[in-house]
Structure formats: structure tokens, C-alpha cells
């Protein structure tokens, strides 16, 4: 395979990871040991917030009054589409029972988790849509207690539009706390008495690492670190649109990778030429983030064929993957690893990030090789059960006893023996001894 790095990143997802890991481990240990007092201390020193941690109904009403009516309608537009898509995902799986052999029944049940912790970023940007993506999806799945948290933005607390979106989406308790301390508070049940069964939501590298370290004690949606974009483009792509979409994701933060996979050197030239001007035109905060992200994490990879592009793209397993190339059906049939796919130049990542309906909480750092994004199913425990008649037990118990003895598990074997002796006292069943095999 002939692959050429037209532009190669100077950094990768592992850059600075050791320091992040140590910082998060220390903070989690301190908060677990010292409880709410330590979480409040971090909130004061890192978030600059000394007010109440739990948001009151009065504060929600006051925040709602500060949200312009058009913005409310836009939030409701996004909420309606995200909720409808989440409901369709939920309804695509179901409970069932099947008779595997006469009298032997096995089934599947869907049980919502009791408590979900939803993290909503609110530091550099007010991630209004993230409140909808996490909270609404949990509620659609049937989660009883949804605890949401976000960083206090000023003396009034959480950004009013984020607070409005959290409440609209159905959050039961809202914490004014960001970062590791917010994640820890939801995981340990601080301020709520309801430890999270699952933690979901995007965040910076510290938030992502806190979720990773807490996995096992509770569930997590996935490893959702700094956002990524991959764009597959050929000679038919519009370089203005490709460059704009790369910059649109790079502005999220200085460690947000932006990748272009292309078979066209001419397109690579044109996109490279446009990137500095587009970045320079951004406001200062966004400009600094996008400039660092493109300089340190941006890549352009040239391939000889679309088959090579697929191989490279699947290896990168981009969080967001756009197709701006001819023959959409071929790409959809051959690509396998991505968080969410945006087909055609009309279907840009920005639309999915905000309001088109699919969830924007997606796997990063290669996790799309083994998982998809946040969906209603993430909040459901898919559990099984079985029941059977005594007639069905005749065969199942005999096979279980023989297999167990072959494995050397005499206790298991005897559970089958006692049932056979009780239900079929007049019959003899063949024994299999492990040593005979």
C-alpha cells in the first residue's frame, strides 16, 4: 500500500498522558476519602465557585428567563430530533422469549439503569447540545434518576442555556461542578445520595481519564476524549467545504485531531492553502485552539486508491467521519470503523453535533474499532432468564451432569443428579468421568 503523509502530526493522543493519569488518580482518591468537603474545595479552586452545588428550581427558572425565545426554540428543535432518534434506537431492540427445546424457555429483558451521571462541558464553550445528547437519551431509555453536572460559568452558576437544556431534557438533579470533581461527585453519589450506575458525556482529557479510572466501579459510555474529525475526500470535493469542516472541529481545543484522507494531491494542496486563513479569521479563543490543533495534531494522508483510504480510515477509527467523495454507497458498504458517519457534503459534523438527531457523544482515540456512540441501549441492562418444565429438565440435567464431570466440577454435576433422582427415580443416566476423556 502506498501512503504518503502530506502533513504528519507532531503529537498524538498519548502525549502528556502520564501526567494526566497521575493528577486524576490523586484527585479521585482525595475526593473519595474526604467526600463533599474536598469536592467543594476543588470546585472553589478550579471552578471559582463558592455557591450551592445543587441547582434549585428557583435558579432554573431564573436561568430560563435569561434565555432568548429563539434560542429556546432552537434547543427544543434539537431536543425533539435527538429524542426521536433515541426512541427509535430503543425500539430497535426488545424483550423476547424463545422455546429452545420442548419445555425449555430462554428470554431477554431490558432493565433501565437506576441512576445515570451526565457530564456536560461548559468551560471554553457552552456545550448546550451535550446536555440534550446525554440527559434526553438517558430519559428515553427509562433511567429513573438522571444527575447532570456542568462547570459554573460566572456568579450565576451554570450557563443559562445549558441549564435550560438540562431541565428540558429531564435532568432530575443538577450539580454546579465541573471537571474531575464533577465526575467524582456523580460516581460517589456526593450531594445526591445516588451513586451513578453509569457515567456519560464528553469532556477534556481530565474528564475522560476520570471516567476511565472509575470504570468497573460504575459503567461508562466509552472513552470520549478530545473530539476528532476525519474527512474522506477525492477530486470531486470542494476544498472550501473540506477546510471549513476541519477547522470547525479543530476549534474545539488545542488537542483536537483533524485528519484528511484523500486520493487527490490537488485537493490536499487547495485545503492546505485555505487552512491558515480560515483559522486566522476565528475569534481569539477559537483561533488559538484551532491553530494549535492543526499544527500539532492535524494530518493529511495521500493514498493511491479508495481501498487504501478505507484501510487508513479504519485504522484511525475517527470519532466523526465525513465522506466528500463520489459513490457514497461504495464507501458506506466498505467503511467499518467510525463513531458516526456523515455522507455527502450536505451532512456535516456540525449538524450532527448540534441538532440533526444522531448523538454526538462518540468514541475517540481509536475506540470506534470496538464500540459505537451513546445511544439508549447504553442505559439498558440486557439481561437473560430461563425457565423450564420437568420434562425439559430430564435432558438438560443429564447433559449438565456429564459435561460438569468432564470439566471436573463435581458440585455442578450433583445439582443435576439430585434433580434427575427426584424427577426420574426409575431411570439410569450415563455418567462421564473426566479421567476417561
Confirm or deny that 137 is annotated as ligand binding.
Answer: no
Q: What is the pLDDT of residue 416?
A: 92
Confirm or deny that 326 is annotated as ligand binding.
Answer: no
The Cα–Cα gap between 78 and 81 comes to 5
3-state helix, strand, coil in the chain (%, to 5): 50, 20, 35
Is residue 328 part of the annotated active site? The answer reads no
CA 285 from centroid of its chain's CA atoms: 26
Radius of gyration of the chain (CA): 26
CA 376 from centroid of its chain's CA atoms: 11
The Cα–Cα gap between 240 and 228 comes to 19
Q: What is the pLDDT of residue 1?
A: 52
Which of 127, 228, 299, 320 is an active site residue?
Answer: 320
Confirm or deny that 412 is annotated as ligand binding.
Answer: yes
Domains with residue ranges and CATH for the chain: 17-221 (3.40.50.1980), 226-372 (3.40.50.1980), 389-436 (no CATH)
| Cβ contacts of 53 within 8 Å, gap of 6 or more | 36, 39, 40, 43, 175, 176, 177, 185, 191
Q: What is the pLDDT of residue 191?
A: 98
SS3 (DSSP) at 90: helix
Could you tell me where the DSSP H helices lie in 3-106? 17-34, 36-42, 57-66, 69-91
The Cα–Cα gap between 279 and 289 comes to 9
Confirm or deny that 176 is annotated as ligand binding.
Answer: no
**What are the distances in angstroms from CA 11 to CA 162, 289, 340?**
32, 15, 24
Looking at residue 215, the DSSP 8-state letter turns out to be B
Confirm or deny that 181 is annotated as ligand binding.
Answer: yes
Q: What is the pLDDT of residue 15?
A: 73
Is residue 159 part of the annotated active site? The answer reads no
Confirm or deny that 19 is annotated as ligand binding.
Answer: no
The Cα–Cα gap between 156 and 240 comes to 40
The Cα–Cα gap between 356 and 142 comes to 22
- pTM metric for this prediction: 0.90
| Cβ contacts of 422 within 8 Å, gap of 6 or more | none
Which of 228, 251, 299, 319 is an active site residue?
Answer: 319
Confirm or deny that 407 is annotated as ligand binding.
Answer: yes
Task: List per-residue pLDDT tens for the chain, 437 residues long.
Answer: 577 898 898 887 767 778 999 999 999 999 999 999 999 999 999 999 999 999 999 999 999 999 999 999 999 999 999 999 999 999 999 999 999 999 999 999 999 999 999 999 987 778 999 999 999 999 999 999 999 999 999 889 999 999 999 999 999 999 999 999 999 999 999 999 999 999 999 888 899 999 999 999 999 998 777 889 999 999 999 999 999 999 999 999 899 999 999 999 999 999 999 999 999 999 999 999 999 999 999 999 999 999 999 999 999 999 999 999 999 999 999 999 999 999 999 999 999 999 999 999 999 989 999 999 999 999 999 999 999 999 999 999 999 999 999 899 999 999 999 999 999 998 887 776 655 55
Q: Are 331 and 323 in contact (CB under 8 A)?
A: yes
Confirm or deny that 272 is annotated as ligand binding.
Answer: no
Q: Are 366 and 317 in contact (CB under 8 A)?
A: yes
Closest CA to 139 of 83, 81, 186, 195: 83
Q: What is the pLDDT of residue 435?
A: 59
SS3 (DSSP) at 123: coil
The Cα–Cα gap between 138 and 169 comes to 9
- H/E stretch holding 135 reads none
- H/E stretch holding 320 reads strand 320-324
- Count the neighbouring beta carbons within 10 Å of the beta carbon of residue 7: 17
Strand 145-150, strand 3-7: pairing:
unpaired
Q: What is the pLDDT of residue 204?
A: 86
Q: What is the pLDDT of residue 18?
A: 86
Amino acid at each position: 500500500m502506498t501512503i504518503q503523509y502530506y502533513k504528519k502530526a507532531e503529537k498524538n493522543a498519548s502525549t502528556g498522558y502520564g501526567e494526566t493519569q497521575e493528577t486524576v488518580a490523586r484527585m479521585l482518591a482525595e475526593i473519595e476519602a474526604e467526600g463533599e468537603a474536598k469536592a467543594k474545595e476543588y470546585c472553589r479552586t478550579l471552578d471559582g465557585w463558592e455557591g450551592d452545588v445543587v441547582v434549585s428550581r428557583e435558579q432554573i427558572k431564573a436561568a430560563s428567563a435569561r434565555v432568548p425565545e429563539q434560542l429556546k426554540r432552537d434547543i427544543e428543535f434539537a431536543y425533539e430530533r435527538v429524542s426521536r432518534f433515541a426512541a427509535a434506537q430503543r425500539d430497535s431492540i426488545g424483550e423476547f422469549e424463545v422455546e429452545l427445546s420442548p419445555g425449555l424457555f430462554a428470554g431477554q429483558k431490558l432493565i433501565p439503569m437506576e441512576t445515570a451521571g451526565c457530564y456536560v462541558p461548559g468551560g471554553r464553550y457552552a456545550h448546550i447540545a451535550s446536555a440534550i445528547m446525554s440527559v434526553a437519551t438517558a430519559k428515553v431509555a427509562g433511567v429513573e434518576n438522571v444527575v447532570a453536572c456542568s462547570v459554573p460559568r460566572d456568579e450565576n452558576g451554570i450557563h443559562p442555556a445549558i441549564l435550560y437544556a438540562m431541565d428540558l431534557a429531564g435532568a432530575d438533579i443538577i450539580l454546579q461542578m465541573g471537571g474531575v470533581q464533577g465526575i467524582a461527585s456523580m460516581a460517589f453519589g456526593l450531594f445526591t445520595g445516588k451513586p451513578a450506575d453509569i457515567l456519560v458525556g464528553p469532556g477534556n482529557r481530565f474528564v475522560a481519564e476520570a471516567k476511565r479510572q472509575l470504570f468497573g466501579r460504575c459503567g461508562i459510555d466509552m472513552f470520549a476524549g478530545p473530539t476528532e474529525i476525519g474527512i474522506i475526500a477525492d477530486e470531486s470535493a470542494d476544498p472550501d467545504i473540506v477546510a471549513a469542516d476541519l477547522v470547525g472541529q479543530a476549534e474545539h481545543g488545542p488537542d483536537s485531531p483533524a485528519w484528511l484522507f484523500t486520493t487527490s494531491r490537488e485537493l490536499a494542496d487547495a485545503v492546505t492553502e485555505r487552512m491558515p486563513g480560515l483559522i486566522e479569521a476565528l475569534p481569539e479563543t477559537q483561533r488559538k485552539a484551532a491553530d494549535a490543533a492543526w499544527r500539532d495534531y492535524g494530518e493529511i494522508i495521500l493514498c493511491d486508491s479508495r481501498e487504501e483510504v478505507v484501510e487508513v480510515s479504519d485504522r484511525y477509527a475517527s470519532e466523526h467521519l465525513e465522506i466528500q467523495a463520489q459513490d457514497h454507497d461504495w464507501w458506506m458498504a466498505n467503511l467499518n470503523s467510525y463513531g458516526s458517519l456523515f455522507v455527502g457534503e450536505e451532512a456535516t459534523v456540525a449538524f450532527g453535533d448540534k441538532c440533526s438527531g444522531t448523538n454526538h457523544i462518540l468514541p475517540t482515540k481509536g475506540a470506534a474499532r470496538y464500540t459505537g456512540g451513546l445511544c439508549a441501549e447504553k442505559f439498558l441492562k440486557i439481561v437473560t432468564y430461563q425457565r423450564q418444565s420437568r420434562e425439559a429438565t430430564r435432558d438438560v440435567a443429564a447433559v449438565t451432569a456429564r459435561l460438569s464431570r468432564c470439566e471436573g466440577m463435581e458440585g455442578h454435576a450433583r445439582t443435576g443428579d439430585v434433580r434427575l433422582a427426584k424427577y426420574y427415580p426409575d431411570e439410569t443416566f450415563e455418567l462421564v468421568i473426566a479421567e476417561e476423556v
